[in-house]
Structure 1
Amino acid sequence: MAHPQTIQIFLPDGDPQGIRIASITTRIVQLIEIPRLRLADFLAMSEAGHVGLYLLFGEDDETGHAKAYIGQTGNLGARLKQHHDGKDFWNRALVALSLTHSLTVTHAHYLEWLAISRAAQAARCKLENSTTGTRPHTPAAMEAECREIFETIDILLTTLGHPVFEALVKREEDNRRVGRPAATTPPPSDADFFLRNERADARGRYTEAGFIVLAGSWGRAQAVPSFVGTSPYRKRQAMIEAGDLAINEERLVFLRDVHFNSPSAASDMVSGRATNGWTEWKDATGKTLSDVTGRVVPTRSATVT
């Protein structure tokens, strides 16, 4: 259950785009964000010799999709140096360690397994790890400690803008926390919005992260001519190639929850044309997203079909 917390972010060199050290003031776990360009600075820090969990973040050059690699090590600096020499995709590393040197390699192995499992389940990004691995044997007391440590890491990662363990849409939250499989499709919610016509039947949610079109939604398979070749159209094709969307007869089917920065980008994808998402998406009573949120937006020209 969420509750108020105080998080401290320290900038060692005063640059908010440089190394950032985040911690919850009442806990011993610390998270350090390291731009690849500043790796040498981290290697000179005493924390580089710690046992810890690390995450590498970057993007796919072709699709722009987020990518990540998760690992653990007995020496953070040495392992990041290896990945600097051997992996191209990443541009930021985040390492989690103990201020009291209390993390052991056993802790790290369990945290690595848990982190990979949760990241794979959340599906926020493509994992570069070849497998989720086997759950390591860990004494019950240590497992409980690791799960508490993991919660802190999750909060700090999200605070720094990397919510890799947070699903786009919450599904059976209690089940997910204890490791049981979540439902494929979330239950209906008062926060759901719909885009329904003869060429679409899509459901989505407007969240802090943007607009999410839910798995199982479908829209127009063939885009209108004026939409072909645009940036949204190219994204559409890339998502089909990546397996996020599929063409099934005359429908464009969403195979997983898909995040968009704006409601209009989401309705464009569903409709295969330029749209105004603030008026296209409607709740169960027929109110537009614009009406529900109280946001007055200028009219966006839509392509005539």
Structure 2
Amino acid sequence: MSQGRSIRLFLVDGTPNGLLTAEIMNWTGHVLTGPRSKLAELVQRPECGRTGVYSLVGPDSDDSLRTRVYIGESDDVAQRLRTHNRPEEQGGKDFWERVCLITSKDQNLTKAHAKYLESQLIQIATQTARCVLSNGTAHSYNNLPESDRADMAFFLEQIRIVLPVLGFEFLRELSKPSAPVSATAAAAPSHSPQFLLEVPRYRVSARGQEVDGEFFVLKGSNARSEWVGTERGYRGLYKQLIEEGVLVAGSGEHLTFSDDFAFSSPSAAAAVVCGRAANGRTSWVVEGSGQTYAAWQDQQLNAVDLTTAENTQEVV
């Protein structure tokens, strides 16, 4: 069972769209984030004068469905952000809309620590493949004593916990259903039963599974060979999966998933499989029982309500 964590969030200017700080109990790290429109206020913060690592985040200009990220480090983050705020032709970066700065509350983060963290964050972002990296070439920096590397491993673990809470998903590990579960994992991912979606007329059959809140279509599943729905909806996602090689030509008249792929919802998954808009809550059924996804979810809720009622009776 995973252990709970307490994260302290502070709205610097009292608004949800302004500057925000985040801290985790018993962690020396400190996170400062804000929109590019608040850059003038952000660079005046004391954190921007410390050694730290930062991420610039925004939509990818070539694919609006993807996030573009630049990861850097500096002894003077404020000056680096001023440089990044320039136009592209003057050495700046146009794509980013938000910045996330990670420093240390005790100010014991050195230049060597920051360079090591930067290289590790770039490597993790590359492996998770949740974003398009703007960094030119990945580099490896290991010039740290063994004890410092151990400290930075814990520091990285906390970064990967707090950033998704702030809406930065590019470091979050993708727990694919087909991936082996590590024996040393802090918490095994929660799996649903496998679901089945079939379109007999086009001989399409796909399997899906929910893992830690994400709905995966499993490797080897089929999808319609062309999008037949409206121009809106998930047509852009369908085309993107073909371009990225997630959907490839199969042996028959359909496309095949070359790997497990996580969708934002069962309906998004059903739409890509069917090549048109589809209600995933009724299209996906539990394999072997025929129970719809919606009915399965209701069953989970009813089980919780029953357990709560039984516990209340025991107390009374």
Distance 1:31 1:23 in 2: 7
What TM-score, normalized by structure 2, do the two folds share?
0.81
2:218 maps to which of 208, 211, 214: 214
Structure 1 residue 206, shift from structure 2 partner:
2.8
Counting only pairs closer than 5 Å after superposition, residues 262-273 of structure 1 correspond to structure 2 as 262-273=265-276
Residues 136/21 of structure 1: CA separation in 2 closer, same or farther (3 Å cut): same
Contact 1:48 1:77 in 2 (8 A): yes
In the alignment, what sits opposite 2:232? 230
Contact 1:63 1:235 in 2 (8 A): no
Distance 1:242 1:176 in 2: 32
> 30-39 or 157-166, which moves further after superposition?
157-166
> 17-26 or 282-291, which moves further after superposition?
282-291
Residues 210/172 of structure 1: CA separation in 2 closer, same or farther (3 Å cut): closer
Q: CA RMSD in A?
A: 2.6
Question: Unaligned 5+ residue runs, structure 1?
Answer: 179-186, 296-305
Structure 1 residue 189, shift from structure 2 partner:
5.2
In the alignment, what sits opposite 1:239? 241
> 87-96 or 158-167, which moves further after superposition?
158-167
In the alignment, what sits opposite 1:285? 288
Residues 221/44 of structure 1: CA separation in 2 closer, same or farther (3 Å cut): same
Cα shift readout 1:3-55 (whole Å, capped 9, x = no counterpart): 12211111111111111000013221011112111111111111111111111
Residues 17/280 of structure 1: CA separation in 2 closer, same or farther (3 Å cut): same
Residues 14/164 of structure 1: CA separation in 2 closer, same or farther (3 Å cut): same
Structure 1 residue 2, shift from structure 2 partner:
3.4
1:254 maps to 2:257: yes
Residues 130/175 of structure 1: CA separation in 2 closer, same or farther (3 Å cut): farther
Specify the code of the residue in structure 2 equivalent to 1:55: S
Q: For residue 56 of structure 1, give the secondary structure of its aligned residue in structure 2.
A: strand
Contact 1:8 1:22 in 2 (8 A): yes
In the alignment, what sits opposite 1:32? 32
Distance 1:176 1:120 in 2: 22
In the alignment, what sits opposite 1:139? 145
Distance 1:80 1:285 in 2: 55
Q: For residue 231 of structure 1, give the secondary structure of its aligned residue in structure 2.
A: coil
Contact 2:190 2:211 in 1 (8 A): no
Distance 1:126 1:239 in 2: 15
In the alignment, what sits opposite 1:128? 134
Counting only pairs closer than 5 Å after superposition, residues 1-305 of structure 1 correspond to structure 2 as 2-64=2-64, 65-85=66-86, 86-170=92-176, 171-174=179-182, 190-198=192-200, 199-207=203-211, 209-224=213-228, 227-248=229-250, 250-286=253-289, 287-294=291-298
Contact 2:192 2:209 in 1 (8 A): no
Contact 2:52 2:74 in 1 (8 A): yes
Distance 1:205 1:127 in 2: 28
Structure 1 residue 137, shift from structure 2 partner:
3.0
- Bigger-Rg structure (1/2): 2
Cα shift readout 1:174-224 (whole Å, capped 9, x = no counterpart): 38979xxxxxxxx99553323245432323233555423234432111233
Distance 2:260 2:184 in 1: 17
Distance 2:5 2:147 in 1: 25
Structure 1 residue 173, shift from structure 2 partner:
4.9
Q: For residue 80 of structure 1, give the secondary structure of its aligned residue in structure 2.
A: helix
Distance 2:111 2:184 in 1: 26
Q: For residue 294 of structure 1, give the secondary structure of its aligned residue in structure 2.
A: helix
Structure 1 residue 256, shift from structure 2 partner:
4.2
